[in-house]
């Protein structure tokens, strides 16, 4: 078998639906398996996946064991030569895995490869490529120095490597990590001492320490709605602080001052995350009109009947207006076309994606806020 795609799910029923639609399309011509590990979801995710995607191998955990253990369980069942660790709130293009395999086979020196990620609005996610978050590098991030003097303090987001230029980078994001399955196992997978957060930093860094190369490949584009299964509450703050502290004590010698700084910095960072999320929610405004990109012309939004609702079988007929929301039907337009359109049209549009049974549409206008689920009728 050529490829195993491992997806850890936790209470994101409609987002994993669109994710699995895209993964199924991207593995159609490959000898591949899709493994979903469920961390004791209570939203009916597993039953939905069983009904809509019977080809998917499902593993049900009796409790939420966290990100590292959940993924390690999935990889323990993997039979593919190559492995993709994938978040459930992502969308890949039809050529994603074929291109990823081709790249790895032509670049034997690369151990882990990561793509260019955009959020649900088409905005580039800077965490697609990062440096090792040493205490000093993390300080430049939290303090905002990297924004003021990016030429000197841009290591956290590896700003020396442009958004659309391929190249080596220290750290890749856990939303999409592509490698040989044997390499993941040689690293003993994600460190299970981390419940959540910093596990991708740790895996990337351990790979670097063994002399391997991690590589950012912007020719592969995926959507990452980001944070759908991660509430930014006080439990998040505590876990983030514990994970960062664990990462630092594992890999670096740190003083008492640095320990105090970690506590302060993680609290500040978590607070800013929550504030940004609340601001994003406040900024959400109803669209002036909806455009359904679908050949099924009998579909309509089950709410907001006063907002104009138009149909088009393709993107050529869409007239952009301020606050136009496009609803993509994967049975009409390819995921690659959706991603390409979003990369170009970041302003004036927001985006939703139809579920496999056409009952709902999901999307997100910001990487700082939870997504939205629209009911179709």
**Range 314-339 average pLDDT:** 89
Q: What pLDDT does 239 receive?
A: 66
- Provide, rounded to the nearest whole percent, the portion of the chain with pLDDT above 70: 85
Is the confidence at residue 279, as pLDDT, over 60? no
Q: Which of 12-16, 17-21, 270-274 has the lowest mean pLDDT?
A: 270-274
Q: pLDDT for 251-271, tens place per residue? A: 777 677 767 776 676 666 666
Is the confidence at residue 278, as pLDDT, over 60? no
Task: Tell which residue, 285, 295, 335, 342, has the closest CA to residue 317.
Answer: 295
| 3-state helix/strand/coil string of the chain | CCEEEEEEECCCHHHHHHHHHHHHHHCCCCCEEEEEEECCCCCCHHHHHHHHCCCCEEEECCCCCCHHHHHHHHHHCCCCCEEEEECCCEECCCCHHHHHHHHHHHCCCEEEEEEEEECCCCCECHHHCECCCCHHHHHHHHCCHHHHCHHHHCCCCCCCCCCCCCEECCECCCCEEEEEHHHHHHCCCCCCCCCCCCHHHHHHHHHHHCCCEEEEEEEEEEEECCCCCCCCCHHHHHHHHHHHHHHHHHHCCCCHHHHHHHHHHHHHHHHHHHHHHHHHHHHCCCCCEEEEECCCCCCCECCCCCCCEEEECCCCCCCCCCCEEEEECCCCCCHHHHHHHHHHCCCCEEEEEECCCCCEEEECCCCCCCCEEEEEC
Q: What pLDDT does 269 receive?
A: 63
Is the confidence at residue 334, as pLDDT, over 90? yes
Q: What pLDDT does 118 receive?
A: 97
- Would you place residue 332 in the very low, low, confident or very high pLDDT band (cuts 50, 70, 90)? very high
Contact in structure between 120 and 19 (CB atoms under 8 Å): no
Q: pLDDT for 96-142, tens place per residue? A: 999 999 999 999 999 999 999 999 999 999 999 999 888 788 778 76
Q: What pLDDT does 257 receive?
A: 72
Q: What pLDDT does 223 receive?
A: 97
- Would you place residue 233 in the very low, low, confident or very high pLDDT band (cuts 50, 70, 90)? low
**Range 77-95 average pLDDT:** 98
Q: What pLDDT does 366 receive?
A: 75
Stronger pLDDT, 278 or 191, i.e. the higher one: 191
Angle in degrees, 0-180, between the axes of helices 45-52 and 13-26, rounded to the nearest 10: 30
Q: Cα separation of 179 and 249, whole Å?
A: 27
Q: What pLDDT does 214 receive?
A: 98
Is the confidence at residue 95, as pLDDT, over 60? yes
Is the confidence at residue 280, as pLDDT, over 70? no
- Would you place residue 150 in the very low, low, confident or very high pLDDT band (cuts 50, 70, 90)? confident
**Range 165-177 average pLDDT:** 97
pTM: 0.90
Stronger pLDDT, 43 or 242, i.e. the higher one: 43
Handedness of CA 100, 103, 104, 109 (dihedral sign): negative
Q: Which of 169-173, 285-289, 350-354 has the lowest mean pLDDT?
A: 285-289
Q: pLDDT for 198-228, tens place per residue? A: 789 999 999 999 999 999 999 999 999 975 5
Is the confidence at residue 57, as pLDDT, over 90? yes
């Amino acid at each position: 078998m050529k490829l195993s795609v491992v997806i850890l799910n936790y209470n994101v029923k409609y987002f994993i639906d669109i994710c699995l639609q895209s993964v199924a399309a991207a593995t159609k011509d490959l000898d591949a398996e899709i493994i979903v590990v469920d961390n004791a979801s209570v939203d009916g995710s597993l039953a939905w996946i069983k009904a809509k995607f019977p080809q998917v191998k499902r593993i049900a955990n009796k409790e939420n064991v966290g990100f590292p253990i959940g993924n390690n369980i999935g990889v323990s069942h993997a039979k593919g030569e190559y492995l993709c660790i994938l978040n459930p709130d992502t969308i890949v293009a039809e050529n994603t895995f074929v291109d990823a395999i081709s790249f790895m086979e032509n670049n034997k020196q690369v151990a882990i490869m990561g793509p260019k990620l955009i959020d649900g609005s088409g905005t580039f996610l800077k965490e697609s490529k990062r440096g090792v978050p040493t205490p000093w590098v993390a300080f430049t991030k939290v303090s905002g120095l990297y924004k003021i003097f990016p030429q000197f303090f841009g290591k956290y987001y590896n700003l020396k490597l442009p958004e659309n230029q391929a190249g080596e980078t220290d750290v890749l994001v856990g939303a999409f990590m592509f490698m040989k399955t044997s390499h993941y196992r040689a690293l003993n997978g994600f460190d299970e001492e981390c419940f959540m957060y910093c596990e991708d930093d740790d895996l990337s860094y351990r790979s670097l320490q063994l002399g391997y190369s991690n590589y950012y490949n912007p020719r592969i584009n995926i959507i990452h709605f980001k944070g759908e299964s991660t509430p930014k509450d006080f439990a998040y703050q505590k876990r983030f602080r514990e994970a960062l502290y664990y990462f630092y004590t594992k890999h670096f010698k740190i003083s008492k001052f640095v320990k105090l700084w970690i506590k302060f910095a993680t609290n500040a960072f978590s607070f800013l995350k929550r504030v940004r999320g609340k601001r994003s929610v406040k900024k959400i405004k109803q669209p002036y009109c909806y455009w359904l990109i679908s050949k099924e012309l009998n579909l309509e939004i089950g709410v907001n009947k006063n907002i104009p609702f138009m149909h088009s079988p393709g993107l050529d007929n869409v007239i952009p207006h301020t606050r136009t929301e496009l609803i993509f039907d994967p049975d009409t337009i390819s995921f690659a076309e959706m991603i390409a359109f979003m990369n170009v049209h970041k302003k004036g549009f927001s985006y939703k994606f139809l579920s496999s049974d056409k009952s709902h549409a999901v999307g997100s206008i910001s990487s700082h806020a939870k997504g939205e689920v629209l009911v179709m009728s």
